[in-house]
Amino acid sequence: MPFTKAELDGSFLFEPMVFRDERGFFFESYNEQVFIANSVTSRFVQDNQSFSKRGVVRGLHYQLEPFSQSKLVRVLQGTIFDVIIDIRKGSPGFGKWVGFELSSENKKQLFVPKGFAHGFSVLSETAEVMYKCDQFYHKESESGIRFDDPMLNIDWNISKGKEIVSAKDLQLPSFAESKNNFNFSIV
């Protein structure tokens, strides 16, 4: 089974079947029928792609309701440490984070459900990351949490003080002070 439930409810790792031979490899990075058969019904409407160098930390980002986004994250080149935080009030995982190494080599993809903050650090010399979103970008709804919030204590696998973070991300609030209109519900 290519889907592995992650520690935080609603998130999972997708590991596609890769066909390799002397020419290289081939795999389906997304097949709607396979995802629906595994209870993932997000309809993706936008693809985003970034290129970053070693030490870059992007995030932690999310969009508030009603413009929240589910994401399917994969690495086209390089290696990242991908982090999600459950920000759904009332969730058993509220305020907890998990991280996964995603790379162009392992082909693993992370499904980030609505109600989760997302970010990543670049572990290789460079990395190119692509993610599908099931909601369009909505500037007025963007929000986030500061990457180095001491309450979360995320280990980005980058030496402390060597992180490269945008001025915008350095202005993000702590987890306790962040805007959040997500509530957990059992489906």
Q: CATH number for the domain including 119?
A: 2.60.120.10
Catalytically annotated residue among 30, 61, 62, 118? 61
| Residue 15 within any structural domain of the chain | yes
**Number of structural domains in the chain:** 1
Known catalytic membership, residue 61: yes
| Residue 185 within any structural domain of the chain | no
- Which structural domain range is residue 124 located in? 3-170
What is the reported pLDDT for 77?
98
Does pTM surpass 0.75?
yes
What is the reported pLDDT for 70?
97
Instruction: State the average pLDDT over residues 65-90.
Output: 98
End-to-end CA distance of the chain: 23
| Residue 112 within any structural domain of the chain | yes
| Residue 136 within any structural domain of the chain | yes
Average of per-residue pLDDT values in the chain: 96
CA–CA–CA angle 174, 85, 138 (5° rounding): 75
What is the reported pLDDT for 187?
62
List pLDDT tens digits, range 10-69.
999 999 999 999 999 999 999 999 999 988 899 999 999 999 999 999 999 999 999 999
Catalytically annotated residue among 30, 131, 137, 138? 131
What is the reported pLDDT for 186?
76
| Residue 187 within any structural domain of the chain | no
What is the reported pLDDT for 1?
55
**What CA–CA distance (Å, rounded) separates 119 from 28?**
24
| Residue 115 within any structural domain of the chain | yes
| Residue 35 within any structural domain of the chain | yes
List pLDDT tens digits, range 133-148.
999 999 999 999 999 9
